[in-house]
Structure 1
């Protein structure tokens, strides 16, 4: 895993896979377009049988969670659901990934997403921050937004698992040091599970990406799911 961290840090271009469309400055209130994206994500991830599963997990993140560029059934959420079910878990994984989301956008939509569900989730996978890096947003703001989201979820009695990112050295050692401590520090503060690098096992392997060279293909997503599933299962035991 450490080798993958180092490889990741050498390439700022990798962060482009985390953003699909918007390069606008982060706003304090949601725009009409942003609201439409959120509603679309909620609807696409909805399932009339959600309440029938014993366990409900919400995958709350950006394009990495949304399954950008692959068939809907080959995205992170459905593949994780299948992997957990193969372990004997009666589980539904709800896809709440929105391409291009920053932590600020995630914070704005979190209540809407959680309140739109038919029941309280047993676990929320929280994977945001890469777009903050791409836009050069202040690490202190990224940390504050993630902090607020975790606190919100814990106040609701919902378990959280963070999937982290790392800042490339191109942004400077001061920035990188401030950003890279965010996920482990918050995991420690709130005593939540942490998967340090979401793209572990995939980054640096061109054959695991779509033709654009930026987004993981179905095989790449399979590897991500294979590596993260045991820790998700462990988080459910929490």
Structure 2
């Protein structure tokens, strides 16, 4: 947890959070699978392929099983949107920054030699909590998107989750983190536009973060239900244009 963010009160709350929050580890279970389009009548149509790389949200932290996480839920959402089965895999790490994605996770996926219909990049909250600068964020995200072109022609970058609503954090710290996320999002929008990637800003979307079942028992990560709420928002933000572009490819 960052110690130098926002106001002195926010810094004090960050110190307290660092010593009191016990984050959920990545759960067990398979970090891959196939999500079926329920009305699929042609078994000869190959599934779309989706790979996700990133932080604890990709790793399904906050759930009891990898199959309950954000990425399989997103694969199910894509299956319904594209009216096709989706074969998915997730490569996530608790605490991963975009720099870790750049130097560790992305190279590991590239070694497989696979090409995917959709590539999802999800990181950013740990960069903020580690006090990484916007220039560092810009450089790492740009490099990731450059290198990710070999993996997919359709790249989606997800913003951090809504840290301003996390019940484990103090009010001053939440306000400071919201400001930092907004600044990061502005940089991300520019970088993604330059690299022809789709940026999905979920920071202020209504994902029912105030619902009693949104957060997991660690009061930091979303629960399985929270992830499903987030996926509804991601699919809505991507809209029909994304579906049409990929269908035409």
Q: Quick check: TM above 0.5? A: yes
Match of 2:128 among 133, 156, 159: 133
TM-fit CA distance, 1:233 = 6.9
The verdict on how the C-alpha distance between 1:202 and 1:60 changes in structure 2, with shifts beyond 3 A counting, is farther
- Give the aligned partner of residue 138 of structure 2: 143
CA–CA separation in structure 2 for the residues paired with 1:206 and 1:140 = 37
TM-fit CA distance, 1:90 = 2.2
TM-score (norm 2): 0.67
- Give the aligned partner of residue 160 of structure 1: 155
- Give the aligned partner of residue 225 of structure 2: 219
Contact 1:53-1:92 at 8 Å conserved across structures: no
CA–CA separation in structure 2 for the residues paired with 1:83 and 1:90 = 10
TM-fit CA distance, 1:93 = 2.0
Aligned length: 204
SS in structure 2 at match of 1:124: strand
Contact 2:55-2:122 at 8 Å conserved across structures: yes
RMSD after superposition: 3.7
CA–CA separation in structure 2 for the residues paired with 1:127 and 1:67 = 12
CA–CA separation in structure 2 for the residues paired with 1:156 and 1:82 = 21
Return 98-107 or 77-86, whichever deviates more.
77-86
Task: Give unpaired runs (5+ residues) of structure 2.
Answer: 1-9, 35-44, 164-173
- Give the aligned partner of residue 87 of structure 2: 92
2:242 pairs with 1:235: yes
CA–CA separation in structure 2 for the residues paired with 1:159 and 1:95 = 16
Kindly indicate which of the two structures has a greater share of residues assigned to helix: 1
Contact 1:163-1:198 at 8 Å conserved across structures: no
SS in structure 2 at match of 1:92: strand
- Give the aligned partner of residue 60 of structure 1: 53
Within a 5 Å distance, the mapping from 1:202-217 to structure 2 comes to: 202-217=208-223
TM-score (norm 1): 0.70
2:101 pairs with 1:115: no
The verdict on how the C-alpha distance between 1:199 and 1:163 changes in structure 2, with shifts beyond 3 A counting, is farther
TM-fit CA distance, 1:198 = 6.0
The verdict on how the C-alpha distance between 1:20 and 1:108 changes in structure 2, with shifts beyond 3 A counting, is farther
TM-fit CA distance, 1:190 = 1.4
Larger Rg: 2
Within a 5 Å distance, the mapping from 1:16-95 to structure 2 comes to: 20=23, 44-46=30-32, 53-70=46-63, 71-87=65-81, 88-95=83-90
SS in structure 2 at match of 1:186: helix
Return 218-227 or 79-88, whichever deviates more.
79-88
The verdict on how the C-alpha distance between 1:154 and 1:206 changes in structure 2, with shifts beyond 3 A counting, is same
Contact 2:102-2:143 at 8 Å conserved across structures: yes
Contact 1:45-1:95 at 8 Å conserved across structures: yes
